[in-house]
Amino acid sequence: MMNVVVLAGGELKSEDPLFGLVPPGAPPSKAYLSLAGKPMLQWVLDALGDSNMISGVIVVGQPENADFKSAKPISYIEDQGGLIENALAGIRYSAEQKPGEKYTLLASGDIPLLTPEMVDWVVENGLQSRADLVYHVITDKVMEERFPGANRTFISLKGIRVCGGDLNLISHRLVEQNNYIWEELAARRKSPIRQAALLGPGILLGLMLRILSLEQGVELVSKRLGLVGKAVESPYAELGMDIDKPGQYELVKNEMSAGRR
């Protein structure tokens, strides 16, 4: 069993398309988007809390007095000002709490269709890899079959198109890596080409010509970042069904209304 860090920071600005969907009186945060009578973050915490592989939950980006519940012990860390800063703070805290552990699970707080079975699958398979970073991807076929018209951002590789998943295994040693690289990758997360440009010309050229396979991409990125990485094709589209746009919110809400959660 291991800790999980849940990234739930960031304040919605008035110009954000999701801003108007926050219930009256709730803080301006995606965590409070209402789905089937519960805040979005609560759905994620419920799935994690019911997992057989999770021992503790660390929520980053919400205050200590946040009114969320968890079946497992829960801790809060204030928003550190950015995605990478939040992730690093959470993983460092987790490593301090469990010094004998090698890994922490890293989750986004906006994947409300997550289930305990998916969490168990990610952890059990990830631990077998012995990699520093076990990153999950979802193919366009899996995503479109499960969520037609989900409007995800896909990376085109040789023979495959994938989007990123939001539940991944992180080695504690990665908190010692060059923070600049991680910060820049996070800033460019909506543009695979700009991320590739940061990681090196071989990756950029391979993406542009679509001659780079998933395995080759992982090898090049691992070398550039000084880690052992593994990309895993997830059969669960839900791992990549995060809510960034009103259309995605409506899609997830309809799934829940139809009892498919």
pLDDT in tens, 88-147: 899 999 999 998 899 999 999 999 999 999 999 999 999 998 899 899 999 999 999 999
User: Could you tell me the domains of the chain?
Assistant: 2-247 (3.90.550.10)
SS (H, E, C) 143-159: HHHHCCCCCCCCEEECC
Q: Which residue has the tokens 């890994």?
A: 103
147-197, pLDDT tens digit by residue? 998 989 898 888 999 999 999 999 998 877 655 666 666 676 667 667 666
State which amino acid sits at residue 157: L
pLDDT of residue 226: 79
> What does the pLDDT average to over 64-79?
94
pLDDT of residue 245: 93
Beta strands in the chain (DSSP E): 2-7, 34-35, 38-39, 54-60, 74-77, 103-108, 133-139, 155-157, 160-164, 167-171, 229-233
CB atoms within 10 A of CB 68: 21
pLDDT of residue 30: 96
Higher-scoring residue by pLDDT: 107, 208: 107
217-244, pLDDT tens digit by residue? 788 777 777 788 899 999 999 999 999 9
pLDDT of residue 206: 57
- Mean of all residue pLDDT scores within the chain: 88
CA distances 237 to 29, 33, 82, 164, 233, Å, are 24, 21, 26, 10, 10
Secondary structure element (H or E) that encloses residue 39, with its range: strand 38-39
3-state secondary structure of 240: helix
CB atoms within 10 A of CB 64: 9
State which amino acid sits at residue 219: E
Q: What is the pTM of this model?
A: 0.88
pLDDT of residue 155: 86
